[in-house]
Structure 1
Amino acid sequence: MALNKHSKRLTQDPSQPASQAMLYAVGLTDEDMNKPQIGIASTGYDGNPCNMHLNNLAQEIKKYANLNDQVGLTFNTIGVSDGISMGTSGMNYSLASRDIIADSMETVVNAQSYDGLIGVVGCDKNMPGAIIAMLRLNRPSIMVYGGTIASGKYKGRKLNIVSAFEALGQKVAGEIDETEYREIIKAAIPGAGACGGMYTANTMASSIECMGLALPYNSSIPAENPNKLSEAERTAQAMKNLLELDLKPKDIVTKKSIENAVAIVNALGGSTNAVLHYLAIAYAADIDFTLEDFQRVSDRTPLIADLKPSGKYLMEDVHGVGGTPAIMKYLLEEGYLHGDCMTVTGKTLAENLADVKAMEFEDQDVVFPTDKALKSSGNLQILYGNLAEKGAVAKISGNEGLKFEGRAVVYDGEQAANTGISNGEVNRGDVVVIRYVGPKGGPGMPEMLKPTSLIMGAGLGKSVALITDGRFSGGTHGFVVGHITPEAQDGGLIGLVETGDTITISAEDNSITLQVSEQEIAERKAKWIQPPLKHNKGILFKYAKSVASASEGCVTDKY
């Protein structure tokens, strides 16, 4: 079987002389014209520690691809730094960047007739964007994660990106002075790599490895570990094997393999963003996977890792206790994963894990056995009720309790919430409501890490709840509910809540309820007027006009 079944339409077709002339111009030889061409797509750019090292990794992969009878051809696509844009209007572009990344990778690979795709990615939206593109293209593909960052250190304690956000709340509360605040900021992030806890980047990296589209250990080898560059050779060899087997993403991504991904998200205490991304991944793969499937997998999967943001440890500590494969092997042995799912190695998940050293629980408290699980079910819970008729996503680690009822304090937008929280408008027992920040209303469904970090930094984390039609960062912790649908912009009930109303959130029966009479709700609905979109041109206008709801994964190609 020809391994260059797509590129040969350019390199072998005598009616394509201009195509061939241009390929000779970029340095291809006669011998190269018979080899498969592999697009190596990097989301590398200088302005973000998560991405600053990716172009070097892409070049290393290209070198080994060329040594393994392939023609590696690098190209770049965009990225948005969530950590940098958080709390600003720039965060409106974050979720939209996932679809731009998917669209651009799909565009280049199809337009250039590449035979395969290697996505070299770092920050939160890079990974699902690459996976969505791979599934649309359905050509041999591998995702390569750039790795987690090392921890920062200050006065003997480990720091990470969320330490910087929470330091602001501590300064506002008078717990630290300006000097200590600045020192924490300077020490929080020591170099290259994605944010260190089980935030969105590490959540997606570990779950994509478990789903089968990344090589074993890819998710847990830190960015600056010497073994990270050695993955380049493994990746090139694996791509050659995929081409020879004609093994494609839709052969790997199945309902069972997505269940594996969701299981490890819950076992590790991962980000609520995984819900949005796996709904979109399932849609790209033509797989029926819904919010109800998330709940089903969460119900049967215990939380066994004590990782930030709710716990103590970072992804570098997961690497230290055996890496993601050791945890996967344990989950497989305990019956929480499907071992017969195919992976990019050309072997099943069970075959990949057969020779992995078993997880040891003595002398470490990063990962616990299931009989000592931190929570008997997963941390991601899907809530319904009059406030979320089409669903909402809660992140409940167990540390916050299982039920919260309080007085609503309502803000139209994140900036108003940040100002209100900083000015002392939020008190113990309150439910902060941030609305008109959904996929359309935001637009772009920005993350609410700054307000939750202000709440945490002010010492209110266990006594205040926060709900929103926007998203939460993977770094968020506390009693939080996001992705509320219908969103306020679409006339959802969250847009009719008034300060002083009572809201009840229960992880016991997975409900979220506005305690207001049906008559009062009807009267408020009659007075509600839909506000205009916040943009009338450009990418955010296009996004708001095309995006599906959060309960459908915020895909932009559904209608």
Structure 2
Amino acid sequence: MTAFKPADWPRKLRSTEWFGSTSRDHIYHRSWMKNQGLPADLFDGRPVVGICNTWSQLTPCNAHLRDLAERVRHGIYEAGGLPVEFPVFSTGESALRPSAMMYRNLAAMDVEEALRANPLDGVVLLAGCDKTTPALLMGAASVDIPAILVSGGPMLNGWFRGERVGSGTALWRMSEDIKAGKMTQEEFLEAESAMSRSPGSCNTMGTASTMASMAEALGMALSGNAAIPAVDSRRRVMAHLSGRRIVDMVKDDLKPSDILTMQAFENAIRANGAIGGSTNAVIHLLAIAGRVGLDLSLVDWDRLGRDVPTIVNLMPSGEYLMEEFFYAGGLPVVMKMLGEGGLLNRDSITVSGGPIWDEVKDARNWNEEVIRPVERALTQQGGIAVLRGNLAPDGAVLKPSAASEHLLTHRGRAVVFEDIDDYKARIEDEDLDIDETCVMVMRNCGPRGYPGMPEVGNMGLPPKVLRKGITDMVRISDARMSGTAYGTVVLHVSPEAARGGPLAVVRTGDMISLDVPGRSITLEVDEAELAARLEAWKTPVEAPSGGYARLFHDHVQGADTGADFDFLKGCRGAPVPRDSH
């Protein structure tokens, strides 16, 4: 950190176009800002740094971000910048309908245009809940001004009757236990209060913690950011230091395009395999890469992650939670282990201004049960398995570390649900013709189909199967799955059913073969029959009449390319808008 000295500033700042002269227009801009009680010398040419805040009481994971924003503000002031906080659309996973994913692109558009249209030289991105992290990174990447991300951090461990309760993961498990007769409704309600006992996002390796880890692995957050619990004082320190750091990033003109290289995405993909990260990371990293013009694909996900062992022993793949991950050393330990195994691009630049290896090379593992040595990995082939075949010509994904090994190669009879409503209406019917050998298939839940691609892919099993003691079956859909969920679940089937992909014409009784080691998924219907079915298919999804829902329907791309809008791909930069006064 260096104290601000106007004479030493190396280049003209973007904000100078708003505040840096004595014309009528410049006075107009400054005078309105001064009604907040800002001294005149704050407009002496120092950098104006935005604090982009996704705080919202409707987004519980982010409801504590106001405090972190104040810590960021202190750091910016200390380093000689002028901090200005502003809100953007907050995508809360727990409340938004039809799905938070439907509004990720809206939030990204909000961020992008707020950064482009305002007198900002740099920005600190405050994120927490699942979609807020990728949305903020997507928007910042499209504008390409200096940016650093600060996560809100995970909740503290939940405990119920002496056992760890992982947010989300416990919910899925306990709801199945009720259907199986292993747990009462009263016990379920008692456990509810243990699931979310402090501010913060999910304490499992769900999507929120995964994306915080991805931001750190990409180099867009300071080392150590991902795992600090929300209520730990060190989370405030991280926010403070990030506020300091962004000012020097502005001085050095260190932008997202300098950090978000293909090598950085390779690091993130491998880190995702090592931590047992959420399948949602696939969609989000593809979308972020698209914003900086990189041709990242599902092929890269399978190529880079296939041989990465899952070494982080966290729910839903393992037994611990984010609190223990932090105490064990957090993501820097994982990145160091990847580097020692030849799986890290050590020279990738981070927001620190230096190579990632310099940030992690001295990290120490304080708990080898939580971050395991490679020889004791949860699975030697973690990562994300990308499957292809006549059922998923453009790909589908599966998380091996959350799946049952005996189901990774499976052949079974399809039981088809037209959508999530059909599934809910029929799954508990004792007359449903289904057993544990079947393959549950759900469609019309993709980006366009639902719309918004909800986290419903981890369909709960039928009660009559659960009562046998069966806890997993093969499930296939064009939907997503919560990062807190588990099971042998094939997701993101592309093209989705609503676009006329082969998933749209699967019939109950068809045989489906899954071969995860061979990376294939096959509908056992001959080519002529499949072609005839597709020829006769008509979409059951009507285009919305207007509003954002219509924009989403018309422009959202497939899951295999990140489900971004077609017109948002690429970096549009941050020109100075023409003055209208």
The TM-score range, normalised by the shorter chain, is over 0.9
- For residues 410-489 of structure 1, what are the structure 2 equivalents within 5 Å? 410-424=416-430, 425=432, 426-448=434-456, 451-452=459-460, 463-489=472-498
CA–CA distance in 2 between the matches of 1:169 and 1:420?
A: 16
Pairing of 1:522-541 with structure 2 (within 5 A): 522-533=531-542, 535-541=544-550
In 2, distance between residues paired with 1:235 and 1:198? 24
Q: Which amino acid aligns with 1:527?
A: A
Match for residue 187 of structure 2? Answer: 180
Q: 1:284 to 1:268 in 2, by over 3 A?
A: same
Among 360, 367, 370, the alignment partner of 1:366 is 370
User: Residue 45 of structure 1 contacts residue 52 of structure 1 at CA under 8 Å; is this kept in 2?
Assistant: yes
Whole-Å Cα distance in 1 between the matches of residues 55 and 469 of structure 2?
38
Work out the CA distance in 1 between the residues paired with 2:82 and 2:466: 51
Give distance in 2, aligned partners of 1:57 and 1:3. Answer: 30
Residue 38 to residue 4, structure 1, CA distance change in 2 (3 Å): farther
Range that drifts further, 522-531 or 464-473: 522-531
Separation of aligned partners in 2, 1:410 and 1:13: 67
Distance 1:297-1:31 versus aligned 2 partners, 3 A rule: same
> What corresponds to 2:572 in structure 1?
none
How far, CA to CA, are the matches of 2:512 and 2:469 in structure 1? 18
Give me the CA root mean square deviation: 2.0
Contact 1:143 1:214 in 2 (8 A): yes
* Alignment partner, residue 495 of structure 1: 504
Q: What residue identity is the alignment partner of 1:211?
A: L
Counterparts of 1:112-131 in structure 2, within 5 Å, are 112-131=118-137
Partner residue in 2 for 1:142:
148
- 1:29 — aligned with what? 39
Separation in 2, partners of 1:72, 1:46: 23
- 8 Å Cα contact 1:388-1:484 kept in structure 2: yes
Conserved in 1, the CA contact under 8 Å of 2:64 and 2:199?
yes
Matched, 1:70 2:81: yes
Deviation at 1:372, TM superposition (A): 2.5
CA distance in 2, matches of 1:313, 1:278: 25
Indicate the SS of the match to 1:102: helix
**Equivalent-residue separation in structure 2 for 1:36 and 1:344 (angstroms):** 17
Aligned partner of residue 145 in structure 2, secondary structure: coil
Closer, same or farther: CA 296–390 of 1 in aligned 2, 3 Å: same
Given the alignment, which residue of 53, 71, 81 partners 1:60? Answer: 71
Sequence identity of aligned pairs in percent? 32
Matched pairs, number: 551
Q: Could you tell me whether the CA contact under 8 Å between 2:458 and 2:489 is conserved in 1?
A: no
More displaced stretch, 69-78 vs 525-534: 525-534
**Distance between the aligned counterparts of 1:292 and 1:228, measured in 2?**
36
Counterpart residue number, 1:45: 56
1:297 to 293, 304, 315: 304
Gap runs ≥5 in structure 1: none
Decide whether the 8 Å contact of 1:165 with 1:453 is kept in 2: no
SS at structure 1 position matched to 2:435: coil
Note closer, same or farther for the CA distance 1:53–1:218 as it changes in structure 2 (3 Å cut). same
- Give the secondary-structure state (helix, strand or coil) at the position aligned to 2:213: helix
Which range moved further: 459-468 or 513-522? 459-468
Q: Note the alpha carbon deviations across 1:225-261, whole angstroms, 9 max, x for none.
A: 1211111221122112212211111101100000001
Per-residue deviation, residues 80-125 of structure 1 (Å, max 9, x unmatched):
332345xxxx1x3411222122111111121112000111111000
Q: Does 1:98 align with 2:104?
A: yes
What is the one-letter code of the residue matched to 1:244?
Answer: K
Instruction: Give the AA of the match of 1:124.
Output: D
Secondary structure at the counterpart of residue 493 of structure 2? coil
Cα distance in structure 1, aligned partners of 2:565 and 2:28: 35
Letter in 1 for 2:71: E
SS in 2 for 1:50: helix
User: How big is each residue's C-alpha offset from its partner over 1:428-452, in whole Å with a ceiling of 9 and x where there is no partner?
Assistant: 1121111011111111111116624
Residue of structure 2 aligned with 1:333, choices 330, 340, 345: 340
The one-letter code matched in structure 2 to 1:365 is: E
Q: Distance in 2 between matches of 1:175 and 1:308?
A: 21
Equivalent of 2:263 in 256, 266, 278: 256
Residue type matched to 2:90 in 1?
G
1:12 corresponds to 2:20:
yes
- Structure 1 pair 3–38 and aligned structure 2 pair: CA distance change class (3 A): farther
Cα deviation 1:194-238 (Å, max 9, x = unaligned)? 111111111111121011000111101011112111112211221
- How many angstroms apart in 2 are the aligned matches of 1:331 and 1:307? 18
Query: In structure 2, do the counterparts of structure 1 residues 351 and 453 end up closer, same or farther at CA, with 3 Å as the change threshold?
Result: farther
Instruction: Give the aligned partner of residue 283 of structure 1.
Output: 290
Alpha-carbon deviations, 1:126-146, whole Å to 9, x = none? 001111111111111100000
Residues 1:430 and 1:280: Cα distance change in structure 2 (over 3 Å): same
TM-score, normalised to structure 1's length?
0.94
Q: Any gaps of 5 or more consecutive residues in structure 2?
A: 1-8, 569-581
Alignment counterpart, residue 240 of structure 1, candidates 244, 247, 250: 247
| Structure 1 position 457, deviation (Å) | 7.1
Does structure 2 retain, via aligned residues, the 8 Å contact 1:470–1:484? yes
Q: Do the aligned residues in 2 keep the contact of 1:391 with 1:551 (CA within 8 Å)?
A: yes
1:333 offset after TM fit, Å? 1.4
Q: Equivalent residue for 2:405? A: 400
State how far apart, in whole Å, the 2-side matches of 1:158 and 1:449 are: 25
Q: Aligned-pair distance for 1:47?
A: 2.8
Shift of 1:458: 6.4
Closer, same or farther: CA 178–374 of 1 in aligned 2, 3 Å = closer
Alignment partner of 2:73: what SS? helix
> What does the per-residue CA deviation read over 1:179-202, in whole Å, with 9 as the maximum and x for residues that have no partner?
101111222110211111111111
CA contact (8 A) 1:440 1:533 kept: no
Cα pair 1:193 1:222 within 8 Å, conserved: yes
Give 2:48's aligned amino acid: Q
| Alpha-carbon distance in 1 for matches of 2:566, 2:466 | 39
